[in-house]
């Protein structure tokens, strides 16, 4: 059985300047988390980590994600699919490309079975369903500053993760949400150290806020 409370209480693992502590990095943090996870939960973490690598994101992956037993996995990658498709759709319009080009629709090929291969868990076409954040995403994409667009997209993803884990305190979804946000912070730490430290600080504050909220509920 996973020791969720211990894992969550140990999550920040950051130096005072909101970077990794001495001798630590993203990989060592994952090792620390894995150490206290059950085999079942470690498999769920591995699936998330696979999905955080762009090269893994194809029709087969999203089909598996949308049918996954874990709620965070299902909803995070439903959002991820919608976001990426919306970005491609925006790019297609901007460049005058054919509608639907390079979008992931869930159509696996001419021999795909319509029921098993082209429907997601809501029995709709493999499109991820309604994308509530589409208008906000398009506003971000319309900006002229490339760096600010990237930050805006990551802020949107971050907020979605928070929404998906708002009632998760000491369970696997709380850990998955943390890992997904840590991946964002880690990327910015490498691309733009100041922005990376800002996101680390936000992450630490949120974890600490979780414990304060729990303590208040316990009073």
Domain ranges of the chain: 11-207
Under the banding of pLDDT at 50, 70 and 90, the label for residue 114 is very low
What are 58-80's pLDDT values in tens digits? 888 988 898 899 999 999 999 99
Nearest 10 degrees: Cα torsion 38, 39, 41, 46: 140
For the chain, the average pLDDT equals 80
Q: How many CA atoms lie within 13 A of 134 on its CB side?
A: 12
What are 125's strand-pairing partners? 119
DSSP states along the chain: ---HHHHHHT---B-TTSSBPTT--HHHHHHHHHHTS-HHHHHHHHHHHHHTSGGG-SHHHHHHHHT-SSHHHHHHHHHHHHHHHHHHHHHHHHHTPPTTTT-------TT--HHHHSB-TTSSBTT-S--TTHHHHHHHHT-S-HHHHHHHHHHHHHHHHHHHTTT-SSSHHHHHHHHHHHHHHHHHHHH-HHHHHHHHHHHHHHHHHHHHHHHHHH-
Q: How far is CA 126 from CA 19, 116, 121, 122, 164, in A?
A: 39, 11, 9, 9, 21
* pLDDT at position 146: 85
pLDDT at 143 over 50: yes
- Longest CA span, the chain: 60
pLDDT at 126 over 60: no
**170 vs 212: which has the higher pLDDT:** 170
């Amino acid at each position: 059985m996973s020791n969720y409370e211990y894992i969550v209480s140990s999550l920040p693992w950051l130096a005072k300047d909101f970077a990794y502590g001495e001798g630590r990095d993203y990989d060592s943090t994952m090792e620390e988390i894995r150490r206290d996870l059950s085999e079942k939960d470690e498999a769920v973490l591995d699936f998330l980590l696979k999905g955080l690598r762009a090269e893994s994101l194809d029709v087969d992956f999203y089909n598996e994600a949308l049918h996954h037993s874990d709620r965070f996995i299902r909803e995070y990658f439903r959002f991820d699919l919608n976001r990426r498709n919306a970005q491609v759709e925006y790019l297609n319009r901007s460049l005058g490309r054919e509608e639907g080009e390079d979008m992931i629709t869930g159509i696996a090929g001419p021999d795909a079975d319509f029921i098993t291969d082209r429907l997601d868990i809501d029995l709709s076409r493999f499109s991820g369903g309604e994308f509530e954040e589409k208008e906000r995403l398009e506003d971000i994409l319309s900006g002229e500053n490339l760096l600010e667009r990237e930050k805006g997209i990551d802020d949107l993803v971050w907020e979605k993760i928070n929404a998906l884990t708002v009632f998760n305190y000491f369970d696997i979804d709380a850990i998955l949400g943390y890992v997904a946000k840590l991946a964002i912070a880690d990327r910015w730490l490498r691309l733009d150290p100041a922005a990376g430290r800002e996101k680390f600080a936000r992450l630490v504050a949120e974890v600490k806020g979780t414990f304060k909220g729990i303590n208040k509920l316990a009073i």
